[in-house]
Amino acid sequence: MQIHRPPRHPHVWWALLVVSQLIVIAIWWRYGWRIGLPAMLASHLPFVWGTLWPQSRLFGPALIRLPTDERCVWLTIDDGPSDDTLGLLDVLDAHGAKATFFLVGERAAARPELVREIARRGHGIGNHSATHPSAWFWALGPRRMRAEIQGCQTILQGITGTAPRWFRAVVGMANPFVAAPLRDFGLARAAWGARGFDAVRHDIEGVVATIERDLAPGTIVLLHEGARHGRSVETIAALLQRMQAQGYATVLPEDLEGSPV
């Protein structure tokens, strides 16, 4: 089965934009601004939705679940490496679990030993931008977007010797300029199907319960490390305990690639 799907036609959105605006011009010309203006605003809504909705595939493929009927999920841990990384690795080892760590380039460059330890213990490493511009990632232009993706890719490959294959958009928002660098660097975008807002919530039981409601075979679970509340390791440990009690295992997408659907 094909799970890893980098964008193939990163500029097709231009055609959609041009066609939609030609239709708007025709409506404005025929009916005037009272109808033309609302039509123009409406024509932009799909592009806004495509940028702000993490599961949107308007600007290219995005994996939102693994294609499996087995009782397993893909754990993804964003924003590292951090002071939590070693503790998380120990917790994952204790539960026999695997995860993909979506790392920030500049943080990886500052702590390369943690990146190598993640790889040594058999976990995946993904690209999560060079500087993690959370407030403005959705609005980055093509040059800065490419720099964010390429910069992180270069740093992580330099540390581990292997280029990441997966990319997680910052805050999940992927604007039209994400697809071209993903294609050029062979990256596929990973979204998610379950999250508990653990980066900001310190209520461990609440976070775990929120994620638990969305667990199903193939679910991609979004988690974080280095949260300001300092409870990331405890939260992920509690989630792993709950998952094991329900019979869920963890799997990496590369473990499924090449297997029959």
**Catalytic residue positions, numbered:** 78, 224
| Tokens at 59, concatenated | 């600007």
**Continuous segment of H or E residues that includes residue 61:** none
Counts of helices then strands in the chain (DSSP H, E): 10, 9
231-235: Cβ within 8 A, 24+ apart: 231/202, 231/204, 232/82, 232/84, 232/88, 232/198, 233/84, 233/87, 233/88, 233/91, 234/204, 235/196, 235/198, 235/204, 235/207, 235/208
Structural tokens at position 217: 């075979």
Q: How far apart are CA 144 and CA 157, in angstroms?
A: 20
CA distance 215 to 116: 30
- Are the C-beta atoms of 232 and 204 separated by less than 8 Å? no
Q: Is the dihedral of CA 121, 132, 153, 76 positive or negative?
A: positive
CB–CB of 128/115 below 8 Å?
no
